[in-house]
Amino acid sequence: MRDRPTYPQSSVDNALLLIAILRDQGELTVKDAAAVLGISSSTAHRLLSMLVYRDFAVQDATRRYLPGPALFLGAVEHRATSRLNLLTRPLMRQLRDETGESVHLVVRSGRWVRFIGSVESQQALRVGDRRGAIMPARTASTGKAMLADLTAVQLARLYARRGPTPADDREAHLTDQDWTTLQRALESARRLGYAVNADDTEKGLTAVGVALRTSTGQPIAGLSVAAPTIRMNRRLADRIGRRLVALATESRQVLDQFQ
């Protein structure tokens, strides 16, 4: 049996235990969490809220907590992401300096995107560091830009619109309305070369994203510029989008080093 650490951090231990319970049981309520841990309901709620914030849990319509995408998405290979961050860092800083806004590097894993790099804006009101965050690909600007590369058959396999929704992936099945919205977004991304997320993932946030490709056209990641919506109107988003497309094209040979 492993020895308990000499100086245990009870809040960390409790959060990790809740993650393990969600992984093994598939659902949890605040009352359940409080009973298992022997803590107050208010403390249990704060812990579960932090798990939701970090994508280890999601809350359904009945206010139960279910496993979040961070629990069922495969881990990214750290050497690959470090290499990708190194190759794109100059480009990200250039974009941050040109636009004055935060820039994010993203990789897609199925129906989700994971943020693996950020260069923050230096303005007081800004979009913060998103490293480690996981979002639905169909709503994130970079996700839309990368999904636009898929064929109709590949997209249909990725998103089903019938049958029960798996408890571990709320993005597995789309409603007819969600499917139509996604199709329109991807048509726009294919036509323009970039995609826009206007309050789709977070109220008050607008982002413009492109897919980053090698010289052979192989998509390997996504790059976005994100800003408070009050500073990013559609005209500015389109101007940034065109700049992103140009820089993504210019960077293809550099990104060949990633292969």
DSSP per-residue string spanning 150-167: S-HHHHHHH-B-SSPPPT
Residues 6+ apart with CB under 8 A from 19: 51, 56, 57, 71
Confirm if 219 and 146 have CB atoms less than 8 A apart: yes
**Among 135, 88, 85, CA closest to 113:** 135
pLDDT class for 6, splitting at 50, 70, 90? very low
Q: Mean pLDDT in the chain?
A: 86
248-252: which pairs have CB atoms within 8 A and are 24 or more residues apart?
Answer: 248/210, 248/211, 248/212, 248/213, 248/223, 251/88, 251/91, 251/212, 252/213, 252/214, 252/215
pLDDT of residue 156: 87
Digit-coded pLDDT (tens) for 146-181: 999 999 988 988 887 555 555 446 777 788 899 999
Give the Cβ contact number of residue 120 at 10 Å: 16
Question: Six-digit token pair at 142?
Answer: 């970079």
Query: If residue 187 lies in a helix (H) or strand (E), which one and from where to where?
Result: helix 176-192
pLDDT of residue 2: 46
pLDDT of residue 144: 97
Q: Which residue has the higher pLDDT, 194 or 259?
A: 194
Give the Cβ contact number of residue 179 at 10 Å: 17
Confirm if 213 and 162 have CB atoms less than 8 A apart: no
Query: If residue 96 lies in a helix (H) or strand (E), which one and from where to where?
Result: helix 78-99
Q: CA 95: distance to chain centroid?
A: 20
Digit-coded pLDDT (tens) for 174-222: 888 999 999 999 999 999 999 999 999 899 999 999 999 988 888 899 9
> Per mean pLDDT, which of 49-63, 137-151, 158-172 is the most reliable?
137-151
Question: Six-digit token pair at 194?
Answer: 């970039």
pLDDT of residue 51: 87
Residues 6+ apart with CB under 8 A from 202: none
Paired strand residues for 182: none
pLDDT class for 7, splitting at 50, 70, 90? very low
Phi first, then psi, for residue 160 (nearest 5°) are -95, 155
> Per mean pLDDT, which of 14-18, 28-32, 202-206, 215-219 is the most reliable?
202-206
The DSSP 8-state label assigned to residue 228 in this structure reads E
pLDDT class for 239, splitting at 50, 70, 90? very high
pLDDT of residue 213: 92
Domains of the chain, first to last: 10-71 (1.10.10.10), 78-258 (3.30.450.40)
